[in-house]
Amino acid sequence: MPTTLHAKTFVIDGEWSAVGSMNFDNRSMALNNESTLMVLDQTMGRQMMQIYVDDLHHGEEITLETFRQRSWWQRLVQGGASLVMRVL
């Protein structure tokens, strides 16, 4: 894929937009040092929707069948990553 930006984004009714690193759960809101920018603007909402639609063209759907067909190497790497996930 061309680029990766790990952010949480959403658009509601083409008018409310949010971009940030915060997960929408109690732990993130109370304990984690993360932030999210929220905007009430139709122009921004349209731009965010267009970015989302454009991103769909670069995505790849992973079905359960595809996931099960991973190579032994992919399974090994993913298993190793899950072991050290908490310290990353």
Enumerate the domain spans of the chain: 8-87
- Per the model's pLDDT, the better-predicted residue between 30 and 73 turns out to be 73
pLDDT band at 1 (very low <50, low <70, confident <90, very high): low
Listed range (8-17, 24-33, 39-48) with the worst mean pLDDT: 24-33
* Residue 88, pLDDT above cutoff 70: no
Instruction: Report the b/e string of 35-73 with b at 16+ CB within 10 A.
Output: ebeeeeeeebbeebeeeeeeeeeeeeeeeeeeeeeeeee
pTM check: above 0.85: no
